[in-house]
Amino acid sequence: MSDITQVIILGASGDLTARKLAPALFAAFQDGLFPHEVQLVGVARRPWDDAGFREQLIANSPKAKDHQPDKWQAFLANTHYVRTNLETPADFAALAKSLDMLCGGRPADRVFYLAIKPELFLPSVQNLHGAGLLAQEDGRSSRVVVEKPFGTDLTSARYLNGELLKILKENQLYRIDHYLGKETVQNLLVFRFRNAFFEPLWNQKYVELVQITVAETVGMEGGRGGYYDGSGAIRDILQNHLLQLVALVAMEAPSSLAPKAIRDEKVKVLHALRSFADLPDPQANLVRAQYEGYTQEPGVSPTSETETYIATRAYIDNWRWGGVPFLLRTGKHLPSRFTSIRIQFRMPPHTLFGSYQECHLRPNAITLRIQPDDGIDLSFEVKEPGQGLVIKPAKMTFDYAEQFKKRTPDAYERLLQDVITGDQSLFIRSDEVEECWRWADSLREAMAGAPVHQYPKNTWGPQAADGLFGECEGRWLKG
């Protein structure tokens, strides 16, 4: 390993660098988490120099600069800028010379973070390769981080994978999904496989259904309508974030914590997701909708049928989960922002409390709260004190902030540290991407011709989505 790592952000003039990437690197720097020197190098077309780039970070990263001013200044002193046109191969040769100068001729490990438009992923990697910046020699590493979306469907994802892997090895390519850096998501493996009283119940014999929600309060702010109208909720959230949560919830125990072992088990789950083409009535298992006024948003077609809300009833065809529905939902302009996973358990085989004719909503559930308030809730029923047999719901709650009383690292902090140290456990492999697209494409094909429901802003979506639950299976969580 070299004694210096350069983190080079292509597209550094964008919002992601100042809002997420630079603060994440600074947080690791101030906590002393880097094993050696780390330089941040911004790359973009803007006519800035080092001072101009630092001014942009100061202006747009207020939380970072105000936290520890002295360390912030020390961090900025090792932050640089190289003006580069990403579509001009000759500029990459100049970039290579600049990077060599910045590390003083020392052999440096390099991380290239592609914070750029998806259509520039491949040409940028080709230009990096042409300038000799992706070579791995003399013990030096060279890694490339790719933001989502990785392709727009299975065909494009396969093409992009194929072309990138002509240049890069799989262990050089880091497909990032920031959801995998969240503490509760990472804690899923510990929660399931370290605690003996949960894992024996984590199967079709005891679990009735699983529901996973990614709810957002935002809409098309910031001129996002033009991009979103060509994407929709399936490509934006379901194909990546939601399916990653499905894989972690449903996977078998890996043989070890090695990245390959973990990712092998995730791929098995995604491969077992039943295609919508194999359902007797595909459209009965999905509901798509738009919030009212979506087609009047700037950049959105007046005749658009792009979904801002999608809910599905999915199945995993394997021994552990056969017959258990996974209800997945995401939407824009919902009343509150949260992400949660709810494992709902079956009723006991014989009912002592109440008649068999009653529709008993399932009292036993585990809810993993991923954001904004990370934690775990265990729901059950108890007898109310006093005469008679009055049963009331109760809950035991574990809260990360209350338990540990320390700052929870941002997802990008963990993921960028993993890239620098070469740990791919929380990144997505080629076959994983393709299995996600295989299932998402089958959903999109099944959705063609399905009604586009409407729902008012700041409501929980169309009532039709409640119909995805069986008679006594409950309803969608509301935070």
Q: First vs last Cα of the chain: how many Å apart?
A: 45
**460 neighbors 285 (Cβ within 8 angstroms):** no
Neighbours of 105 (CB within 10 A): 8
DSSP state of 321: T
Strands (E), 358-410: 365-371, 375-383, 391-399
**202 neighbors 343 (Cβ within 8 angstroms):** yes
Task: Tell me, yes or no, if 241 is annotated catalytic.
Answer: yes
**309 neighbors 330 (Cβ within 8 angstroms):** yes
369 beta partners: 340, 375
CA distance 67 to 402: 22
**397 neighbors 377 (Cβ within 8 angstroms):** yes
Neighbours of 140 (CB within 10 A): 15
Residue 88 CA to its chain's centroid (Å): 32
CA distance 235 to 444: 10
Per annotation, catalytic residue among 241, 271, 333, 350: 241
Contacts of 243 (CB under 8 A, 6+ apart): 270, 273, 436, 439, 440
CA dihedral 41, 180, 240, 173 (to 10 degrees): 50
Give φ, ψ of 256 to 5 degrees.
-160, 180
Neighbours of 195 (CB within 10 A): 9
Which structure tokens are listed for 382?
């108890």
Catalytic site positions = 241
